[in-house]
Structure 1
Amino acid sequence: MDPRLKEAAETDNIDALHVLIRDDPNILERIDKIPFVQTPLHVAANEGHIRFAMEMMNLKPSFAKKLNPQGFSPMHLAVITERNKLVLRLLKANKDLVCVKGWGGLTPFHYVVKTGNCRLLVSFLEASPECIEDVTVRDETAFHLALKEDQIEAFNILIGWLQRTRRTHGSVFSFEKKMANWEDDEGNTLLHIAARKDQRDALKLLLDSQLWLQVKAEDSAGFTALEIIKGAYSGDVTPSRNDYESKEVETKIKQLKDKVTFERIRVLGDRTRLSMSVDMINTMLVIMALVITAIYTSSLSPPGGVWQDNGEDNNAAAAPTPAPSLKIAQTYHLSNNILNTSKILIFGDKSEKAGTTVMNKQIYGVFWFLNLATFGFTDLVTVFLLSSFHLFLFLAIPLYMLVISYFCSMTILAPSISWAYVNLFFMVLFGSFHSCSSSRCSS
């Protein structure tokens, strides 16, 4: 590299850079042709000169991914020298710089984990979530590096992010299971490393948060993690707190370190939805629409129909009929009694008000339960599927109104005042839950 160019980078002199380019337009192109070379961007990154570095990124973006003779990219140097502001500016310009591999397959993200810089760790995960899948030439993940460097707080954040990420790789749990049980080139899983280094906080965190750990996996020496853990596992996790410059990042760090509770269900739901193809979602929405239509129709026209008038309004005596023979009369009365008994058992006697179902209370209870279970399940599945669309709230409003209409209809059909109150209660409960779930899914 031209000494004048190096001096301009060291002194943050952008004007000198422009003069050199005017005098020699190919001065940067000659540097770019060398595979491993110290570029002006490396020098600026090492010195923390933001303005010069961003100008160089503008003029020669390819310099950002070049490795110097020591195997470092400009982002590597900025991370190692703790030029955090420059790191964030480079990240904003190109998030893929997080995954540039240097000597040994170590990326800037790996160095952030090794140094325990939690502020940059959260920023890297947000900007480039795929960086957590990068491994070194020794098959080490960021989780392995955090434990080997005794960066328990960084490991805590990584585990928290792993539990909360919506990214899917195959099944709902496959990505999380793969990362939690990853083995390095010596067959060491996270449990092996934590047990061998007697990192009790990390052990407790793994055993509490990861239900699918392969505790019987053996390392290259033939030991399982449980054999190493015996006699060494006790105590509680007491993560340390650091004072970070940004309160926003500090809040995110705290959230990642908090134990996952009900949020776990929502994360798994998001992973499930994101793993579904568009055709599958469309097919399921059609099926759910048909089921909801059928159930809603049954609330308008229940089996057996409804009473057309009040029971006391229809007590007029029937017109007399000629008396049949004795044998025919006995058979007639017997079959008529059986028929009336069956009708009363299923539909109830005619003492109800007009507009209510002819079913008796017991049969109505079975009908009500099956309808509610089917309608509630299909409605929630529909909300779940629609929550991936941008205009979800507009789509959820008709569903919300349909729920209210359904319970209003079931209230009117109720064969008794007690069943009417039950329907009113569920109308309020289900409507509130529906609106609450809709707002949460849209957020």
Structure 2
Amino acid sequence: MSMNDSLREAAATGNIDAFYALIQKDPYMLERIDHIPFIDTPLHIAATEGQIKLAMEMMNLKPSFARKLSQDGFSPMHLAFRNGHTKLLLRLLKTDKDLVRVKGREGMTPFHWAATMGNSNLLFHFLEACPECIEDVTVRDETALHLALKNDHLEAFNLLTGWLQSNRRRGANELEKKVINWRDDDGNTVLHIAAIKEQHQALEMLLYVGKYLDVTAKNSDGLTSREIIEKVERRGLNMSDATTTKIKHIKKGTHWHKRRLTMLVRARNGLSGDMINATLVVATLVITAVYQSSLSPPRGVWQGDNNSIPTTNSNTLQILDDNYNKSRFKHQLGVKKQGKPVQQ
């Protein structure tokens, strides 16, 4: 058996002792492999076979292997995903969170693959570990939102838009505006795609987060999202009354934005103790409303069905408004008692 065959067998079977025996015979073996631009490294082989211990050993010895692509255009994390080795995939993510952004063939990252396959559980883990991955695009300028919609994975799409909406990190407003209006190489935003594919659930979700929607953007056919929606409406798409009302608001050039609650959470820095308590109540209820079709809190696994649409009940909005107003009143009252002017 040749050295290459022995190395491949050791990686495939996870035999760490056999692997180090080969290193003793040829100390420069891994260095030579590292100089080859496209190759199945021992880490690629271990990832394909789900050999966690040997994969982690390779990550210690040669972390650069994790970013190499095979001759088929796949990184070790891509291969772990393709072969269903979720535990190994998450170990790789824990070791280096940016591996989820490594682009393989056609510019597809592991995050893009999760969106394409509708794997909401992995999407959640990826976003928690590496929020920046939501900005990555394929060679066709597709975001993960485009891929989820194009493949009819509405649960995954709801998760992604819900994450954008509830994100409270610095620059969240700009990020949401950028991603929600990103156009692929056909000039289509996700709103274009939802209208073209007549995905009324996705339309309702987008209109729910519609504060940042750009309805004037034209695709390669010269159509704006508004014009596509009008065409869909004329074809008699079976949309709810609530959706029809929201579409009318967009046609008038106004935005449906009961999202002041999320904006309050994002702007929470510098608030008083009472006001911060109010924002925490807001955050909890808003996130629950957004994720109700996909999140299963007890196990942390996303299990919503594609028929669920995140909605904001009018009673819930009233409760949130009441909590905010009560907290503001208490804050003002406390300031008055101290003889200081009330801050507006």
Same fold (TM over 0.5): yes
Which one has a bigger Cα radius of gyration? 1
Q: 1:224–1:403: structure 2 CA closer, same or farther, 3 Å change rule?
A: closer
Structure 1 counterpart of 2:238, from 234, 237, 241:
234
Amino acid at match of 2:191: L
Aligned to 2:166: 164
Contact kept? 1:73, 1:102, Cα under 8 Å: yes
Q: Tell me how many residue pairs correspond in the alignment.
A: 269
Alpha-carbon distance in structure 1 between the residues aligned to 2:37 and 2:135: 26
Contact kept? 1:36, 1:67, Cα under 8 Å: yes
Alpha-carbon distance in structure 1 between the residues aligned to 2:169 and 2:152: 27
Aligned to 1:177: 177
Aligned to 1:74: 76
Per the TM alignment, residue 137 of structure 1 is displaced from its structure 2 partner at its CA by: 1.4
Aligned to 2:267: 269
The Cα offsets for residues 34-72 of structure 1, whole Å up to 9 and x where unpaired, read as 011111111111111111111111111110110000111
Q: Is 1:407–2:324 an aligned residue pair?
A: no
The Cα offsets for residues 355-385 of structure 1, whole Å up to 9 and x where unpaired, read as xxxxxxxxxxxxxxxxxxxxxxxx749987x
Q: 1:10–1:235: structure 2 CA closer, same or farther, 3 Å change rule?
A: same
Per the TM alignment, residue 23 of structure 1 is displaced from its structure 2 partner at its CA by: 1.2
Q: Any residues of structure 2 matched to 1:120-131 within 5 Å, and which? A: 120-131=122-133
Amino acid at match of 1:8: A
Provide structure 1 residue ranges, at least 5 long, that are not aligned to the other structure. Answer: 237-259, 274-280, 282-378, 388-399, 411-425, 431-443
User: Helix, strand or coil: the match of 2:142?
Assistant: coil
Alpha-carbon distance in structure 2 between the residues aligned to 1:403 and 1:207: 38
Per the TM alignment, residue 83 of structure 1 is displaced from its structure 2 partner at its CA by: 1.0
Percent identical pairs in the alignment equals 53
Alpha-carbon distance in structure 2 between the residues aligned to 1:383 and 1:228: 42
Alpha-carbon distance in structure 2 between the residues aligned to 1:406 and 1:187: 55
The Cα offsets for residues 150-194 of structure 1, whole Å up to 9 and x where unpaired, read as 11111100000001112344xx63221111111111111111111
Aligned to 1:437: none
Q: 1:207–1:28: structure 2 CA closer, same or farther, 3 Å change rule?
A: same
Aligned to 1:190: 190
Q: 1:82–1:401: structure 2 CA closer, same or farther, 3 Å change rule?
A: same
Per the TM alignment, residue 196 of structure 1 is displaced from its structure 2 partner at its CA by: 1.2
Aligned to 1:34: 36
Q: Kindly report the root-mean-square deviation, in angstroms, between the aligned alpha carbons of the 2 structures.
A: 3.1
Question: Which shifted more, 225-234 or 77-86?
Answer: 225-234
Q: Any residues of structure 2 matched to 1:89-104 within 5 Å, and which? A: 89-104=91-106
Alpha-carbon distance in structure 1 between the residues aligned to 2:200 and 2:266: 28
Q: 1:161–1:7: structure 2 CA closer, same or farther, 3 Å change rule?
A: same
Amino acid at match of 2:222: G
Per the TM alignment, residue 211 of structure 1 is displaced from its structure 2 partner at its CA by: 2.1
User: Helix, strand or coil: the match of 1:2?
Assistant: helix
Alpha-carbon distance in structure 2 between the residues aligned to 1:111 and 1:137: 14
Contact kept? 2:194, 2:203, Cα under 8 Å: yes
Contact kept? 2:166, 2:262, Cα under 8 Å: yes
Aligned to 1:25: 27
Q: 1:33–1:409: structure 2 CA closer, same or farther, 3 Å change rule?
A: closer
Alpha-carbon distance in structure 2 between the residues aligned to 1:52 and 1:9: 7
Per the TM alignment, residue 409 of structure 1 is displaced from its structure 2 partner at its CA by: 6.1
Per the TM alignment, residue 261 of structure 1 is displaced from its structure 2 partner at its CA by: 6.4
Per the TM alignment, residue 17 of structure 1 is displaced from its structure 2 partner at its CA by: 0.6
Alpha-carbon distance in structure 2 between the residues aligned to 1:408 and 1:210: 42
Alpha-carbon distance in structure 2 between the residues aligned to 1:408 and 1:229: 55
Q: Is 1:84–2:86 an aligned residue pair?
A: yes
Aligned to 1:211: 211
Per the TM alignment, residue 114 of structure 1 is displaced from its structure 2 partner at its CA by: 0.7
Q: Any residues of structure 2 matched to 1:28-427 within 5 Å, and which? A: 28-169=30-171, 173-230=173-230, 231=233, 233-235=237-239, 263-270=261-268, 273=269, 380=272, 407=337
Amino acid at match of 2:104: G
Per the TM alignment, residue 233 of structure 1 is displaced from its structure 2 partner at its CA by: 4.1
Alpha-carbon distance in structure 2 between the residues aligned to 1:221 and 1:112: 29
Per the TM alignment, residue 402 of structure 1 is displaced from its structure 2 partner at its CA by: 12
User: Helix, strand or coil: the match of 2:238?
Assistant: coil
The Cα offsets for residues 47-100 of structure 1, whole Å up to 9 and x where unpaired, read as 111111111111111101100001110011111222110111001111010111
Amino acid at match of 1:137: V
Instruction: Report the TM-score when normalising by structure 2.
Output: 0.71
Per the TM alignment, residue 11 of structure 1 is displaced from its structure 2 partner at its CA by: 1.0
Contact kept? 1:180, 1:210, Cα under 8 Å: no
Contact kept? 2:209, 2:259, Cα under 8 Å: no
Alpha-carbon distance in structure 1 between the residues aligned to 2:74 and 2:261: 39
Contact kept? 1:135, 1:142, Cα under 8 Å: yes
Aligned to 1:7: 9
Regions of 4+ moved over 6 Å:
381-384, 400-403
Greater relative contact order (CA < 8 Å, ≥ 6 in sequence): 2
User: Helix, strand or coil: the match of 1:54?
Assistant: helix
User: Helix, strand or coil: the match of 2:212?
Assistant: coil
Instruction: Report the TM-score when normalising by structure 1.
Output: 0.56
User: Helix, strand or coil: the match of 1:215?
Assistant: coil
